[in-house]
Amino acid sequence: MPDRAPLPRVLILTPAADGYGSDRALITALAAICEHFDVVLVSAADGELLDDARSLGAEVVLSPDWALRRRGLRLVALPATLTNVARSLWLVRRLHRRQPFDVVYANTVANAMLPFLKRVLPVPLVVHVREVPRDRGRMAKLLFGAVDRVADRVVCNSAFTGELVGRLVPGLVERIHVVPDGIDPLDAVEFGAGDDDVLDVVCVGRIHPKKGQGVLIEAARLAAADGHRWRLHFWGDALAEHEELAESLRQAVHAAGLDDAVHWHGYSADTRSLYEGMDVAVVPSVLPEEFSLVTAEGQMVGLPVVATGPGGPSDILVDGETGAIVPPEDPAALAAAIAGFEDPQRRRRAGAAGRERTLAHFTTQRYAPAVAEQLLAVVDRSPVSHG
């Protein structure tokens, strides 16, 4: 019996490993990638994702921090950033010389090595775009100009993201392929008991200026003034640079007289438990979400979802059927949309419809092989079957 042909080798670059959106999306796809590739994952940070990657069969290598962050581009920080980039490029070049890669997969555009990768690794490069800088001005054009120069293929996590990238750099349009993110199927949760006539509202996401937790707090203040009874549950922690924001949110809760109605739970990796006993999931982002895994999660577990748009959530939920889309930074509109799901029958209908939609379109069973197929396409291999 002939020996099996060696698998093509892929180098995966991820700037973080702490279990939030892009990291979770990578782990979701990694099992399918490992079926078709010999995988080396280079991470710019340590974290729980790396143990998961090892368990799936990937070789994991820690490198100096090459994650692209605004603070790393400040004049005082630039020498250290450039040093880390140079050391990381040397590392991946050494890995390539040890055993050549057939393709490089950048899990996000938050990668300070991107402009230089082709010089040290002359192999096809696939860039996964999960977010676009919020100013979409000079910084975004510089970043995606670099992507234009080096990427053989660009994978976008929603049609909305693809449209943003195409408008920024029209030359990328022909290389853009949309692969909606996917999540593992989760059992539906039980709604809040309702015996205290209080609506339990959950908001999952890192404490960040983009995520709009303050808008939800203001919406709750307006609702309370109108006699509505809600409990807010925030799940997620804050990076060091956003600790001031976290403190200001707590002060806003106190100033609104909502101390007994707001619960800060921190971070948890047990996704389903975040939604257990809740009635409505809210994604109050003040800037458009390119996809929004938490919108898909909320629908998956059978909750109606209220999210801001247009953006990725507009691809995931159906306004008026599985939840509601409201304008960003509009606490009154957000409060009205949430209040609309105080009717138990309406939220059960919306939750059931959202779960059905998510199971049909946004699961790992669709997402994972689709990502592997994008990588195989540039190494001229047979496409992966989607079953």
Instruction: Report the distance separating Cα 282 and Cα 285, nearest Å.
Output: 9
Residue 49 shares a structural domain with residue 171: yes
Shared-domain flag, residues 147 and 243? no
Asked if residue 4 is part of any domain, the answer here is no
Tokens 């250290």, located at residue: 80
Nearest to 180 by CA among 299, 282, 273, 272: 299
Residue 385 lies in a domain: no
Rounded CA gap, 220 and 350, in Å? 21
Q: Are 195 and 277 in contact (CB under 8 A)?
A: no
Q: What total of structural domains would you count in the chain?
A: 2
In this structure, the answer to whether residues 123 and 257 fall within a common structural domain is: no
**Same domain membership, residue 327 and residue 204:** yes
Taking the C-alpha atoms of residue 317 and residue 355, their distance in angstroms, rounded to an integer, is 10
Q: Tens digit of pLDDT per residue, the chain (387 long)?
A: 455 678 999 999 998 877 666 888 898 899 999 999 999 999 988 888 899 999 999 999 999 988 877 665 667 666 787 888 999 999 999 999 999 999 999 999 989 999 999 999 999 999 999 988 766 567 778 889 999 999 999 999 999 999 989 988 999 999 999 999 998 888 888 876 555 689 999 999 999 999 999 999 999 999 999 999 999 999 999 988 899 999 999 999 999 999 999 999 999 988 899 999 999 999 999 988 889 989 999 999 999 999 999 899 999 999 999 999 999 999 999 999 999 999 999 999 999 999 999 999 999 999 999 999 999 999 964 344 333
Which residues, other chains included, contact 261 with Cβ-Cβ below 8 Å and sequence gap of 6+? 220, 224, 230, 231, 232
> Are 107 and 151 within one domain?
yes
Residues 120 and 88 in one domain: yes
Tell whether 187 is covered by a domain: no
Between CA 41 and CA 60 the distance in angstroms is 5
CATH code, 245: 3.40.50.2000
Residue 142 to residue 112: CA distance in whole angstroms: 12
Determine the structural domain holding residue 351 and report its residue range. Answer: 199-361
Assess whether 218 and 325 both reside in one domain. yes
This prediction has a pTM of 0.78
Residue 244 lies in a domain: yes
Quick one: which of 232, 338, 312 has its CA closest to 21?
A: 312
User: Do the domain assignments include residue 174?
Assistant: yes
Query: Does residue 194 lie within any of the structural domains?
Result: no
